């Protein structure tokens, strides 16, 4: 399925996922800007989403907004973007952003790369850059040049922002 990337102010927040009888489920808050408009529940039991609507007028605006979106293509079939498709994408965006925050946090004392298939590899180093000895920094640079650059050449992406793709430390 294609990813929905439109300029809008809709977001899901406080999303919790769980295993249901018919697959993954979730619940969370649907926001427009800073205003919560509904609590959304996918029970993971099959069937449609359930809503506890907090702001009926804004929820109706949300449903009207969905009607303005272009159709999407799914397995050679044109589909209208309904509330479940749209909110499903918002939930995916929320989960991905949350995971990326965890990964970026690791870069304080790990080298982190993302492989083309979306898998991450991390290598922990002995201390934060600011706490490393010159010998530690030299060892990490050698490791970086021997191993990480090879991975990058195979198509992996360096996640760290605290050093360059050539192994030079930034602010360190």
Percentage of the chain lying above the pLDDT 90 cut: 41
Is 111 found in the same domain as 90? no
Percentage of the chain lying above the pLDDT 70 cut: 88
Is 91 found in the same domain as 52? yes
In a domain, 168, yes or no: no
The confidence band for 28, taking pLDDT boundaries of 50, 70 and 90, is: very high
The confidence band for 108, taking pLDDT boundaries of 50, 70 and 90, is: confident
Average pLDDT over every residue of 11-24: 93
The encoded tokens of residue 35 equal 């205003």
Whole-number pLDDT of residue 58: 97
Instruction: Please write the tens of the pLDDT for every residue from 127-137.
Output: 666 677 788 77
Whole-number pLDDT of residue 53: 98
In a domain, 62, yes or no: yes
Q: How many domains does the chain have?
A: 2
Is 115 found in the same domain as 72? no
Is 90 found in the same domain as 135? no
Residue range(s) defining the domain that contains residue 138: 107-158
Q: Mean pLDDT for the chain?
A: 86
Whole-number pLDDT of residue 104: 83
By C-alpha distance, which of 66, 70, 71, 94 is closest to 82? 66
Is 111 found in the same domain as 34? no
Is 85 found in the same domain as 22? yes
Average pLDDT over every residue of 62-91: 92
Q: What is the DSSP string of 125-149?
A: -SS-GGG--HHHHHHHHHHIIIIIH
Is 113 found in the same domain as 83? no
Is 121 found in the same domain as 83? no
Beta-sheet pairing, 10-20 with 23-32: antiparallel
Instruction: Please write the tens of the pLDDT for every residue from 41-67.
Output: 999 998 899 999 999 999 999 999 999
| pLDDT at residue 3 greater than cutoff 80 | no
In a domain, 91, yes or no: yes
Is 111 found in the same domain as 74? no
In a domain, 3, yes or no: no
């Amino acid at each position: 399925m294609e990813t929905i990337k439109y300029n809008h102010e809709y977001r899901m927040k406080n999303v919790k996922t769980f295993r249901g009888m018919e697959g993954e489920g979730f619940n969370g808050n649907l926001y427009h800007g800073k205003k919560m408009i509904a609590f959304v529940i996918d029970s993971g039991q099959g069937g449609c989403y359930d809503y506890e609507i907090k702001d009926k007028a804004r929820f109706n605006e949300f449903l009207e907004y969905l009607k303005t979106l272009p159709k999407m293509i799914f397995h050679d079939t044109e589909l209208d973007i309904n509330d479940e498709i749209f909110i499903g994408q918002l939930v995916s965006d929320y989960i991905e952003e949350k995971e990326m925050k965890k990964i970026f946090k690791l870069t304080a004392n790990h080298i982190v790369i993302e492989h083309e298939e979306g898998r991450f590899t991390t290598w922990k180093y002995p201390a934060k850059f600011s706490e490393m000895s010159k010998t530690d920094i030299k060892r990490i640079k050698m490791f970086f040049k021997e191993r990480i650059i090879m991975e990058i050449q195979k198509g992996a992406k360096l996640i760290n922002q605290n050093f360059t793709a050539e192994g030079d430390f930034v602010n360190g």
